[in-house]
Each structure stands twice: as structure tokens, then as C-alpha cells.
Amino acid sequence: MRIVIVGAGLVGTQLARHLVQEKHDVSLIESNEERAQHVSNRLDCLVLHDEGNNLSSLKEAGIAKADALVCVTDSDEVNMIICGLAASRYPKLLKIARVRNDDYVRLNQAGEGVFEDRHILGIDHFVHPDVEASRSVLSALAHGAIGNILTFAGTPYELGSIDIAAGSSFDGLSLKDYRSLIKEESLVTLVERKGESLLPTGSTTLVKEDRIHILAQEAEMEHIFKLAGRTEKPLRRIGIVGGSRIGALIAGGLLGKDLESGGKRKKRGFFSLFKSFMPKSSRRVVIIEQNHEVCQDLAARFPDALILNEDISDESFVAEEQIGNLDLIITATDNQELNMIAALYLKSRGVRRAIALVSGSGYEAIARRLGVDVVIPMKSVVVDSILSHLLRGGIKGVHRIGDGSVGIIEIEIGSASPVAETPITAFRLAAGGLVMLVNREGGSFIPRGDYVFKAGDKIVMIAKNGGEAEIERFFGPSK
């Protein structure tokens, strides 16, 4: 694919790096000269120091021959204008804009008035960073904040990640003996060890501090987590540090409000990062926010929550309000360093679990090593959402895990797909990969050696970076 990206911030750079690794033709436009030079020195793609909101720079970036345009500048309005400008000349171009303003997303979903039956300014997809990050937080919370959880809509299966505790049943377990320990249908899909992501084999032996990703039915996940050395307890007293947009979205999810703007839940694919929770009457939600005006707004929106206009770094406040008695703390301010420090500090004061939002996957690894239970890398979540809209060949969703070198990919097999009616034993990816879940006619199962790909199957596979072009060739329409 040929893709033009406008904006070389963390999201734009991370997205471009991934696409370049996958052998896509990428052009990047950045208005800040220093940032453009920095990215040009590190990525093997065309980088232009220019404004993206004019046709000359878009043409120089190759928009006329591009398959997609992705706008991820810091301005919602600029992103939308650039997409609209491109749509006026290149209506068949796929256009994706990152926006944070709920009103724009709500207007696009409503399909009312002059916008009925067509997209606003020709934009095909809006990506809302705060909503995507909030879903990830709420999904982890629904499972006791023990580890990150990815669920698959329409199936009882989910992918859970957890660190192996010393002395647990998993410590020293060879995967060839896995079935003697775990009788339920499940699969160890990935092992993270000392910064490296490994696709395991039967000869792999698990050791303490390994982070493992296990596919299993939701009803069995708690038992498996216990064997890994972690137990799930009800999280009834929940604190949220930061009452801005993300904090408010999380609070809304906890208190029975819909995550989506306008009260409508967006239709999602096989991946689902939203789970239902225990009845809200059994939860106590505390929101801690420094800004007085924000607190007033939160109090009006969430009358069932306790709103504290305080500084989380004030030790006397933490002691007076008995914040250490909370079951869970979610640090969701705009300052990722504060999120990490506050999460760790409050755990030292007695809070059982902590979820922290950080900018990218680099800080995710650091925070986890320091003891934060669940870390949500916001930029990576946004990149995954964009990739899910970009990729073709039957690919419906992408979710990268581990150090970012491995992805979970949702694929729908079409009737013209080369793999249709082909046995799984004939399927091999050069970069390494594994089909780990199949959804067929409303039923789901972990495939075995006798599985044959069928048109209409929705499959979930785990694959190393570098295999997307090969996956598109396998599962896309025959040429």
C-alpha cells in the first residue's frame, strides 16, 4: 500500500515505523522542522517539512497514487480539513482522521441533515484516542486488573496476559506438560522474557517473571491466573486520578454510562475492549482532580461518585482521605510520569491494584517492571486502531502485544481467498505465526491439525511483524 501520513508526533512516527517494517510505501508530512529532521534520520521513508493542509505538499508526498491518507496532527480541525481537501480531488482515497472532540464523532455517527448517507468531509474513519484507551482500562478492570485482557466479540474466549509468580505452578513448567496441568481448552500464545517476545513451542519452559499471553474461555481464565500465582478479588472501591476526558469516560463506564458519544455504542468487529461490570450499586467511585471547575462539572455529571478537589501528590491528603483503602487506583492524568509515580506510591500506601496510562510501549515496559499491574500505552492503542482500518486482504482488526513485534490479527475469509478449503497444515508464515481461534457460524474453537479454512470463517491469529503482506496474499481475493 501507498500511505501518506500527516503529523510526525508519537502516533504518526510509530505508525510510519510499523508500516515501513511491513514494506509499505510511506510518505510523512510534518510542519515542525526539527521534528521532521529527527524522523527523517530514523525512518526509511519520504519525510517532507511542510504544512499538510495544502494540495502542493500532498501532491509532493504522492497523494495522487496513494491508497490511504492518515491525519494525526495535534489539531482535530486540521486533520479534518486535510482529509476534506484530499477528498475533493481524490474521492476514492481512504481517509482517516484522529479527533478528540466528541461533537465531531457524534455528528459523524448521527448521519443527519446534509451529512446523511455520506461521511463528514469525506472522512472514512474517525479514531478517538480517549475512547480507545478507556475501553482498554475498563476491560482490564473487569478482570480484576490482574493483567491486560483482550476479548473477542461473539465468542467465550479471551486473551489474558499475566506475569508468572515465583513458586507458582507455572514456574518451571515445560509446555509439553501444559495439558497435564490445564485440562480446559486453552493455548499459551506468546511468552515475553527479558524484553524479547517468543512464539512458544512444546520445548519452551516457563520461568518466574515471564509474561505469558493465554487464550482461554472467560470462565476458565481466573483458574489459570491462580495457577500463575495471581488471584482476582472484587474491586469495589475504585479511585480515578485525573478528571479530564479519559477519566470521565472511565467513570462513565463504571457508573453505567456508555463510552460512546451520543449514547450509542459503536459497532465493533471481532475484537472488543469493553466488558460489563458488577452492578454499579456495589461500587464506590472516587475521582481526584486538581482543577476546581473540572470538579464542578464532574459532580454534576456523576452524582453517585465522590469528587475530591485535591492534589494526588499531597501526602497529607492521601492519609486524611484514606486513599490507601481503595481496591484499585487508575491514574489517568495528562502527565505519564505522574501516572506512574502516583500508581506506585498509592500501591505502597495499601492500594491493592493499579492501572496507569502512559504514552507509548517504552514506558509500558518500565511501569510494569516497577510494579504497576496494568499499563495502557495510549499511542500504541491509537496506532492499532488506525492499522485495523488500513489493512486489507480480509484483515478486520489488529492489536499488537508484547514489545510491539507481535500482533493479534482478526481475519475474515472470503470465498475468493486462496486459503479457502485448504487444511491448516498447509499454512505457514515465513515470519512466524499461529492461527489460535476460529469463529464459524456462531460457534468458536481453537483449531487442531484437521481444521480446514472455510469461506465465512472469522479467524484470529498471532503473527510476528513482517508478515502482513504475506497474510494479505494468503487471505485476500485471488489475483
Average of per-residue pLDDT across 341-351: 92
- Confidence (pLDDT) at 43: 93
pLDDT at residue 364 above 80?
yes
Q: How far, in Å, CA of 344 to CA of 119, rounded?
A: 44
Query: Which segment of 269-273, 384-388, 394-398 scores lowest on mean pLDDT?
Result: 269-273
364 domain residue, yes or no: yes
Q: How many distinct helices (H) and strands (E) make up the chain?
A: 15, 23
Domain count, the chain: 4
441 domain residue, yes or no: yes
To the nearest 10 degrees (0 to 180), the angle between helices 129-142 and 245-254 is 40
- Confidence (pLDDT) at 478: 60
pLDDT at residue 280 above 60?
no
Closest CA to 150 of 275, 260, 256, 276: 275
Q: Which of 328, 355, 378 is the last residue of a domain?
A: 378
Residues 351 and 426 in one domain: no
Query: Which segment of 230-234, 319-323, 443-447, 472-476 scores lowest on mean pLDDT?
Result: 230-234
Q: How far, in Å, CA of 357 to CA of 377, rounded?
A: 6
Residues 341 and 448 in one domain: no
Give the chain's mean pLDDT.
Answer: 84
Residues 352 and 418 in one domain: no
Q: Indicate the pLDDT class of residue 242, thresholds 50, 70 and 90.
A: very high
Residue pair 361/376 in contact (Cβ under 8 Å)? The answer is: no
271 domain residue, yes or no: no
Give the tens place of pLDDT for each residue, 4-59: 999 999 899 999 998 998 889 999 999 999 999 999 999 999 999 999 888 899 99
Average of per-residue pLDDT across 88-114: 73
Give the tens place of pLDDT for each residue, 119-162: 677 888 888 888 888 888 887 777 666 666 777 767 888 888 88
Q: Indicate the pLDDT class of residue 282, thresholds 50, 70 and 90.
A: low
Residues 244 and 371 in one domain: yes
Average of per-residue pLDDT across 288-314: 93
265 domain residue, yes or no: no
Q: Which of 348, 378, 408 is the last residue of a domain?
A: 378
Q: Which of 378, 399, 430 is the last residue of a domain?
A: 378
Pairing of strands 68-71, 2-6: parallel
Residues 6 and 26 in one domain: yes
Residues 87 and 195 in one domain: no
Average of per-residue pLDDT across 411-421: 88
- Report the percentage of the chain scoring pLDDT > 90: 41
Give me the DSSP letters along 281-303. Answer: GG-EEEEE-S-HHHHHHHHHH-T
The residues, ordered by sequence, that sit 6+ positions from 364 with a Cβ below 8 Å of its Cβ are: 358, 375, 376, 377, 380
Residues 61 and 153 in one domain: no
Q: How far, in Å, CA of 345 to CA of 351, rounded?
A: 9
pLDDT at residue 276 above 50?
no
Residues 193 and 241 in one domain: no
Residues 248 and 355 in one domain: yes
pLDDT greater at residue 394 or residue 20: 20
Its pTM stands at 0.75
- Confidence (pLDDT) at 3: 96
Domain with 312 in it: what CATH number? 3.40.50.720
- Confidence (pLDDT) at 273: 36
Give the tens place of pLDDT for each residue, 426-446: 888 777 788 999 999 888 999
Buried (b) or exposed (e) across 56-74, using 16+ Cβ within 10 A? ebbeebbbeebebbbbbbe
Residues 333 and 362 in one domain: yes
Closest CA to 380 of 150, 68, 66: 150
β-strand partners of 33: none
166 domain residue, yes or no: yes
Domain with 204 in it: what CATH number? 3.30.70.1450
Q: Indicate the pLDDT class of residue 294, thresholds 50, 70 and 90.
A: very high
pLDDT at residue 84 above 50?
yes
258 domain residue, yes or no: no
39 domain residue, yes or no: yes
153 domain residue, yes or no: yes
The cell numbers describing 38, all together, are 529527527
Q: How far, in Å, CA of 25 to CA of 285, rounded?
A: 47
Residues 459 and 429 in one domain: yes
Q: How far, in Å, CA of 207 to CA of 168, rounded?
A: 9
pLDDT at residue 331 above 70?
yes
Average of per-residue pLDDT across 259-273: 42
Residues 80 and 157 in one domain: no
Domain that holds residue 412: 391-475
pLDDT at residue 424 above 60?
yes
- Report the percentage of the chain scoring pLDDT > 70: 88
